[in-house]
Amino acid sequence: MTEEEFINLTKNNLGLIVTQEQLDLLNTYCEYLIDYNKKVNLTAIKDKKDIYLKHFYDSLTIVKVLDLNKVKRLLDIGTGAGFPGVVLKIFFPNLDVTLLDSNNKKITFLSKLALKLGIKVNLVNERAEVYAKKHLEEFDVVSSRAVAELPILIELAIPYLKIGGIFIALKSDVTAELAISQNIIKNIKCQVERIYNFELPIINHQRTILVIRKVRKTPHRYPRTYSEILKSNK
């Protein structure tokens, strides 16, 4: 995806007008990511056109299911090199974004990136199930992109949400994962609100955005330790 294709498809498919300032920030982001990735493995996607399509554009597809202008606090679990959290912050500066990752090298990169871009984000180097213990029901939206299987993600994400808050999982096909997630969905007091299927333009790869809403207070036993979560999902 070229910059021109990104601008046009973001407008036509997602309804977002890319400003010159946003484009400049994305260019800086892209160049810095490519350069930093030579020293520290942050992403397997190293080509500029692929970054614009598979990272930048893909991150923005969240707008198909959620009006981010109405969101205050967003937590991005397993943010990695900042997807979708940093991209969302660039386009929606109103967001109070927290980027969470257990990999210190990735948080270090994000710290330097935030300074380079001149954006303010909250950076947390911690395991999701540990950080949750002190931050239960604080966020309006939790996002996660290609981090873990859905049953695990649901248990990690839902406790962070306020009642009525939304968890958004960006994945490929979720049919099989949804089938094995029914128990945790019931037990942790949430419900699937929407399954949005689409194809990434140009390469036509199947993508799914899963929207899960928290309907009641999370039982105290969640989230469990990671070893317990894994054991229950074997």
How confident is the model over 65-93, as pLDDT tens digits? 999 999 999 999 999 999 999 999 999 99
Residue 19 CA: distances (Å) to CA of 23, 90, 149: 6, 10, 35
Range of the domain at 172: 66-232
Average pLDDT, stretch 156-176? Answer: 95
For residue 90, is it within any domain? yes
Average pLDDT, stretch 50-59? Answer: 97
Average of per-residue pLDDT values in the chain: 96
Distance from C-alpha of 158 to C-alpha of 218, rounded to nearest angstrom:
7
Position 59 confidence tier, pLDDT thresholds 50, 70, 90: very high
Q: Is the pLDDT assigned to residue 105 strictly greater than 80? A: yes
- CATH code of residue 223: 3.40.50.150
Task: For residue 161, list its beta bridge partners.
Answer: 139
Give the three-class secondary structure for 174.
coil
Average pLDDT, stretch 159-188? Answer: 95
Tokens of 59: 């991150």
Average pLDDT, stretch 162-174? Answer: 95
pLDDT cut 70: percent of the chain above it: 100
For residue 16, is it within any domain? no
In the chain, the number of structural domains is 1
Average pLDDT, stretch 161-190? Answer: 95
Q: Is the pLDDT assigned to residue 234 strictly greater than 80? A: no
Range in 37-46, 114-123, 135-144 the model is least confident about? 37-46
Average pLDDT, stretch 210-231? Answer: 94
For residue 176, is it within any domain? yes
H or E, element range at 228? helix 226-232
Q: What is the pLDDT of residue 231?
A: 86
For residue 198, is it within any domain? yes
For residue 10, is it within any domain? no
How confident is the model over 126-165, as pLDDT tens digits? 999 999 999 999 999 999 997 789 999 999 999 999 999 9
For residue 190, is it within any domain? yes
Q: What is the pLDDT of residue 233?
A: 80
Q: What is the pLDDT of residue 232?
A: 85
Contact 163, 149 (CB under 8 A): no
Tell me the pTM: 0.96
For residue 215, is it within any domain? yes
Residue 77: exposure state from Cβ atoms within 10 A (0-12, 13-18, ≥19): buried
Residue 225 CA: distances (Å) to CA of 56, 188, 234: 32, 15, 15
Q: What is the pLDDT of residue 215?
A: 97
